[in-house]
Amino acid sequence: MTAIIPVFNDRKALESAIPQSVGVLSAISENFELIVAEDGSTDGSRELVQEHENQDRRVRLLHSDERLGRGRALNRAIVKAQGTIACYYDADLATDMKHLPELIGAIRKGADIATGSRLMPESDIKRTGGREIASRTYNFLVRLILGSSVHDHQCGFKAFNRDRILAVIPELRSGHWFWDTELLVRCQRRGYRVTEFPVRWRAGKGTTVKVKDVVEMGSSILRLWWQLHVP
Protein backbone atom coordinates (compact mmCIF):
# COMPACT_ATOMS: atom_id res chain seq x y z
CA MET A 1 0.00 0.00 0.00
CA THR A 2 1.22 3.47 -0.90
CA ALA A 3 0.06 6.77 0.57
CA ILE A 4 1.01 9.99 -1.22
CA ILE A 5 1.07 13.53 0.12
CA PRO A 6 1.46 16.17 -2.63
CA VAL A 7 3.46 19.09 -1.24
CA PHE A 8 4.37 22.60 -2.29
CA ASN A 9 5.80 24.79 0.48
CA ASP A 10 3.95 22.87 3.20
CA ARG A 11 6.72 22.37 5.76
CA LYS A 12 4.58 23.47 8.71
CA ALA A 13 1.77 21.08 7.81
CA LEU A 14 4.22 18.23 7.23
CA GLU A 15 5.58 18.51 10.76
CA SER A 16 2.38 16.86 11.98
CA ALA A 17 1.17 15.18 8.77
CA ILE A 18 4.11 12.77 8.46
CA PRO A 19 4.03 11.31 11.99
CA GLN A 20 0.22 11.15 11.98
CA SER A 21 0.29 9.38 8.62
CA VAL A 22 2.81 6.80 9.77
CA GLY A 23 0.71 6.07 12.84
CA VAL A 24 -2.56 5.62 10.95
CA LEU A 25 -0.99 3.66 8.10
CA SER A 26 0.74 1.31 10.54
CA ALA A 27 -2.66 0.36 11.94
CA ILE A 28 -4.01 -0.42 8.45
CA SER A 29 -1.14 -2.46 7.01
CA GLU A 30 2.22 -3.85 8.06
CA ASN A 31 3.61 -3.11 4.62
CA PHE A 32 3.23 0.46 3.41
CA GLU A 33 5.19 3.37 2.04
CA LEU A 34 4.54 7.07 2.48
CA ILE A 35 5.62 9.10 -0.53
CA VAL A 36 5.89 12.84 -0.10
CA ALA A 37 5.65 14.26 -3.62
CA GLU A 38 7.53 17.49 -2.98
CA ASP A 39 7.02 19.80 -5.92
CA GLY A 40 9.79 22.40 -6.06
CA SER A 41 9.30 23.77 -2.54
CA THR A 42 11.51 26.55 -1.24
CA ASP A 43 10.47 26.56 2.44
CA GLY A 44 12.51 23.61 3.68
CA SER A 45 9.87 20.96 2.99
CA ARG A 46 12.43 18.84 1.17
CA GLU A 47 14.90 18.90 4.05
CA LEU A 48 12.20 18.00 6.58
CA VAL A 49 11.10 14.98 4.55
CA GLN A 50 14.71 13.88 4.17
CA GLU A 51 15.06 13.88 7.96
CA HIS A 52 12.08 11.56 8.29
CA GLU A 53 13.30 9.44 5.38
CA ASN A 54 16.63 8.91 7.13
CA GLN A 55 14.85 7.80 10.30
CA ASP A 56 12.12 5.64 8.76
CA ARG A 57 12.62 3.62 5.57
CA ARG A 58 8.84 3.64 4.98
CA VAL A 59 8.96 7.39 4.27
CA ARG A 60 10.09 8.31 0.74
CA LEU A 61 10.91 11.73 -0.66
CA LEU A 62 9.99 12.29 -4.30
CA HIS A 63 11.54 15.66 -5.12
CA SER A 64 11.25 17.81 -8.21
CA ASP A 65 13.64 20.70 -8.81
CA GLU A 66 11.04 22.46 -10.95
CA ARG A 67 7.36 23.04 -10.17
CA LEU A 68 5.37 20.34 -11.94
CA GLY A 69 1.92 21.26 -10.68
CA ARG A 70 -0.19 19.17 -8.33
CA GLY A 71 -1.61 16.89 -11.01
CA ARG A 72 1.71 16.05 -12.63
CA ALA A 73 3.30 15.51 -9.22
CA LEU A 74 0.56 12.98 -8.39
CA ASN A 75 0.96 11.25 -11.76
CA ARG A 76 4.68 10.86 -11.11
CA ALA A 77 4.14 9.54 -7.60
CA ILE A 78 1.50 7.00 -8.65
CA VAL A 79 3.78 5.68 -11.40
CA LYS A 80 6.65 5.29 -8.93
CA ALA A 81 4.50 3.83 -6.15
CA GLN A 82 5.17 0.23 -5.18
CA GLY A 83 1.81 -0.62 -3.63
CA THR A 84 -1.09 -2.26 -5.45
CA ILE A 85 -3.31 0.28 -3.69
CA ALA A 86 -2.34 3.95 -3.87
CA CYS A 87 -4.04 6.76 -2.01
CA TYR A 88 -3.38 10.43 -1.54
CA TYR A 89 -4.51 13.19 0.77
CA ASP A 90 -3.59 16.82 1.33
CA ALA A 91 -0.84 17.84 3.72
CA ASP A 92 -3.16 19.90 5.90
CA LEU A 93 -5.13 16.73 6.75
CA ALA A 94 -8.36 18.63 6.17
CA THR A 95 -10.15 15.30 5.84
CA ASP A 96 -10.22 13.48 9.17
CA MET A 97 -7.68 10.65 9.08
CA LYS A 98 -10.18 8.38 10.83
CA HIS A 99 -11.61 7.84 7.34
CA LEU A 100 -8.38 6.38 5.91
CA PRO A 101 -9.25 2.74 6.78
CA GLU A 102 -12.60 3.18 5.01
CA LEU A 103 -10.87 4.71 1.99
CA ILE A 104 -8.40 1.83 1.66
CA GLY A 105 -11.09 -0.71 2.52
CA ALA A 106 -13.23 0.39 -0.43
CA ILE A 107 -10.45 -0.55 -2.86
CA ARG A 108 -9.89 -3.85 -1.08
CA LYS A 109 -13.60 -4.57 -1.57
CA GLY A 110 -13.34 -4.10 -5.33
CA ALA A 111 -13.68 -0.40 -6.13
CA ASP A 112 -11.32 1.04 -8.75
CA ILE A 113 -11.48 4.49 -7.13
CA ALA A 114 -12.62 5.59 -3.69
CA THR A 115 -13.12 9.22 -2.78
CA GLY A 116 -14.22 11.19 0.22
CA SER A 117 -17.07 13.63 -0.25
CA ARG A 118 -17.80 16.94 1.44
CA LEU A 119 -21.12 17.31 -0.37
CA MET A 120 -23.11 14.23 0.59
CA PRO A 121 -25.97 14.77 3.08
CA GLU A 122 -24.08 12.94 5.85
CA SER A 123 -20.85 14.92 5.37
CA ASP A 124 -19.60 17.01 8.29
CA ILE A 125 -17.78 20.08 6.98
CA LYS A 126 -16.81 23.56 8.08
CA ARG A 127 -15.81 26.28 5.63
CA THR A 128 -16.93 29.75 4.61
CA GLY A 129 -20.26 30.23 2.87
CA GLY A 130 -18.60 31.62 -0.24
CA ARG A 131 -16.40 28.57 -0.72
CA GLU A 132 -19.36 26.28 -0.07
CA ILE A 133 -21.44 27.96 -2.78
CA ALA A 134 -18.52 27.91 -5.22
CA SER A 135 -17.90 24.21 -4.57
CA ARG A 136 -21.51 23.20 -5.01
CA THR A 137 -21.83 25.25 -8.19
CA TYR A 138 -18.65 23.79 -9.64
CA ASN A 139 -19.63 20.20 -8.91
CA PHE A 140 -23.14 20.76 -10.27
CA LEU A 141 -21.62 21.96 -13.55
CA VAL A 142 -19.30 18.94 -13.72
CA ARG A 143 -22.25 16.59 -13.29
CA LEU A 144 -24.39 18.52 -15.77
CA ILE A 145 -21.82 19.10 -18.50
CA LEU A 146 -19.52 16.10 -18.12
CA GLY A 147 -22.09 13.52 -17.02
CA SER A 148 -20.39 12.54 -13.77
CA SER A 149 -22.34 10.82 -10.99
CA VAL A 150 -19.91 11.91 -8.25
CA HIS A 151 -21.00 14.57 -5.74
CA ASP A 152 -17.59 16.03 -4.86
CA HIS A 153 -14.82 15.81 -7.44
CA GLN A 154 -12.18 17.95 -5.73
CA CYS A 155 -11.95 16.42 -2.26
CA GLY A 156 -8.24 15.74 -1.71
CA PHE A 157 -8.79 12.29 -0.25
CA LYS A 158 -8.76 9.49 -2.83
CA ALA A 159 -7.55 5.91 -3.26
CA PHE A 160 -7.01 3.83 -6.38
CA ASN A 161 -6.48 0.35 -7.70
CA ARG A 162 -3.07 1.35 -9.00
CA ASP A 163 -3.00 -0.97 -12.02
CA ARG A 164 -6.33 0.39 -13.25
CA ILE A 165 -5.31 4.01 -12.79
CA LEU A 166 -1.98 3.55 -14.58
CA ALA A 167 -3.94 2.91 -17.76
CA VAL A 168 -5.67 6.30 -17.47
CA ILE A 169 -2.74 8.52 -16.48
CA PRO A 170 -1.39 8.90 -20.06
CA GLU A 171 -4.76 10.41 -21.07
CA LEU A 172 -4.73 13.11 -18.38
CA ARG A 173 -3.96 16.59 -19.65
CA SER A 174 -4.54 18.62 -16.50
CA GLY A 175 -1.38 19.35 -14.56
CA HIS A 176 -2.83 21.15 -11.58
CA TRP A 177 -6.12 21.38 -9.61
CA PHE A 178 -8.46 20.05 -12.31
CA TRP A 179 -6.60 16.72 -12.23
CA ASP A 180 -9.02 15.19 -9.71
CA THR A 181 -12.06 15.99 -11.81
CA GLU A 182 -10.53 14.86 -15.08
CA LEU A 183 -9.43 11.56 -13.55
CA LEU A 184 -12.88 10.82 -12.13
CA VAL A 185 -14.66 11.73 -15.37
CA ARG A 186 -12.37 9.70 -17.60
CA CYS A 187 -12.52 6.69 -15.28
CA GLN A 188 -16.31 6.76 -15.20
CA ARG A 189 -16.40 6.84 -18.99
CA ARG A 190 -14.26 3.68 -18.94
CA GLY A 191 -16.79 2.00 -16.69
CA TYR A 192 -14.57 1.97 -13.61
CA ARG A 193 -16.27 1.45 -10.27
CA VAL A 194 -16.17 4.60 -8.13
CA THR A 195 -17.09 4.53 -4.43
CA GLU A 196 -17.89 7.84 -2.72
CA PHE A 197 -18.54 8.27 0.99
CA PRO A 198 -19.17 11.21 3.37
CA VAL A 199 -16.30 12.54 5.48
CA ARG A 200 -15.58 14.92 8.30
CA TRP A 201 -13.66 17.83 6.78
CA ARG A 202 -12.30 21.10 8.12
CA ALA A 203 -10.87 23.83 5.89
CA GLY A 204 -7.10 24.05 6.33
CA LYS A 205 -5.31 27.28 7.10
CA GLY A 206 -3.53 29.07 4.29
CA THR A 207 -5.10 27.17 1.39
CA THR A 208 -3.05 27.34 -1.80
CA VAL A 209 -6.12 27.53 -4.07
CA LYS A 210 -6.08 30.91 -5.83
CA VAL A 211 -8.84 32.81 -7.65
CA LYS A 212 -7.06 32.12 -10.93
CA ASP A 213 -7.28 28.39 -10.13
CA VAL A 214 -11.07 28.64 -9.72
CA VAL A 215 -11.42 30.50 -13.03
CA GLU A 216 -9.18 27.99 -14.78
CA MET A 217 -11.14 25.06 -13.37
CA GLY A 218 -14.37 26.53 -14.73
CA SER A 219 -12.93 26.83 -18.22
CA SER A 220 -11.40 23.37 -17.80
CA ILE A 221 -14.87 21.82 -17.59
CA LEU A 222 -15.65 23.09 -21.08
CA ARG A 223 -12.20 22.16 -22.36
CA LEU A 224 -12.57 18.57 -21.14
CA TRP A 225 -16.05 18.32 -22.70
CA TRP A 226 -14.50 19.38 -26.02
CA GLN A 227 -11.68 16.84 -25.69
CA LEU A 228 -14.14 14.05 -24.97
CA HIS A 229 -16.69 14.84 -27.65
CA VAL A 230 -14.87 16.48 -30.53
CA PRO A 231 -12.40 14.23 -32.41
* pLDDT tens digit sequence for 64-104: 999 999 999 999 999 999 999 999 999 999 999 999 999 99
Cα–Cα nearest to 167, from 205, 127, 113: 113
pLDDT bracket for residue 172 (50, 70, 90): very high
pLDDT at 40: 92
Whether 180 sits among the annotated catalytic residues: the reply is yes
Sheet holding 113-117, edge to edge: 59-64, 33-39, 2-7, 85-89, 157-161, 113-117, 194-198
* pLDDT tens digit sequence for 117-170: 999 999 998 887 777 888 888 999 999 999 999 999 999 999 999 999 999 999
Using CA atoms, how far apart are residues 73 and 7, in angstroms rounded to an integer? 9
User: How does the average pLDDT of the chain come out, rounded?
Assistant: 92
The domain spans of the chain are: 2-229
Q: At 106, phi and psi to the nearest 5?
A: -65, -40
pLDDT at 80: 96
Active-site residue, from 10, 90, 152, 180: 180
How is domain 2-229 classified at the CATH fold level? Answer: Spore Coat Polysaccharide Biosynthesis Protein SpsA; Chain A (3.90.550)
